[in-house]
Amino acid sequence: MPFFDLTGTSVRQEVRAGCATFATMAYIVVVNPQILGDAGMPREGVMVATCLAAALGSCLMGLLANYPFALAPGMGLNAFFAYGGLFLAVIFLAPLAASVPAVATAPVLVLVGALMMEPIRRIDFADPLLAIPAFLTAALTPLAFSIAEGVSAGVLSYTLLNLLGGRPDRVGWPLRLLAAALAARYFFL
């Protein structure tokens, strides 16, 4: 494939990775309309919008940035929008109940970690500019109970290590912009 640089991988392996990614994030197609439907929005319209936003975002990331990142609408603010009073009650009255969603995601994160093992096995751990971001991604995903936190740590560390380590040719402008946005998120939040 001339457009996508598939060095070190194959179409079969990329299709498997795409299926694992889809299986990891497909829940949003069902859950997002349910949450926003409880807030009074039409469930069918929200489902179509969720699917279109995920497809468009993921295609743009693949075609313009040439990175295999899947994008989909987040649900954190949707829950506050739909169930604001309930969440405040849970946070103030039952801290244990507020921690249940993080604990409930642990089996899924273990599965995602297992799926990440094959690509991690092929990383040249003699090169710290590749090894450190891979380690941070693999370690922080289950520890932070969030795939996004693990990937964010990997993207930030990969970008910074390569820019500061004298290998700026490894980091394209889309990845630099993504890393700047993630750094701003951590700085301001």
> What pLDDT score was predicted for residue 67?
77
> What pLDDT score was predicted for residue 80?
65
Q: pLDDT tens across 17-52, in order?
A: 888 888 888 888 888 888 888 878 888 988 898 889
Q: CA gyration radius for the chain?
A: 18
Q: How many residues does the chain have?
A: 189
**Cβ contacts of 137 within 8 Å, gap of 6 or more:** 116, 150, 151, 153, 154
> What pLDDT score was predicted for residue 121?
78
**Cβ contacts of 41 within 8 Å, gap of 6 or more:** none
Question: Which long-range contacts (C-beta less than 8 Å, at least 24 apart) are formed by 82-88?
Answer: 82/35, 82/36, 82/38, 82/39, 83/35, 83/38
List the domain boundaries for the chain. 1-93, 105-189
Extract the residue ranges of the chain whose pLDDT is less than 50: 1
Using CB atoms within 10 Å of the CB of residue 122, give its burial: 0 to 12 exposed, 13 to 18 middle, 19+ buried: exposed
**SS3 of residue 66 by DSSP:** coil
> What pLDDT score was predicted for residue 77?
66
* Overall pTM surpassing 0.85 (yes/no): no
d(CA 138, CA 168): 24
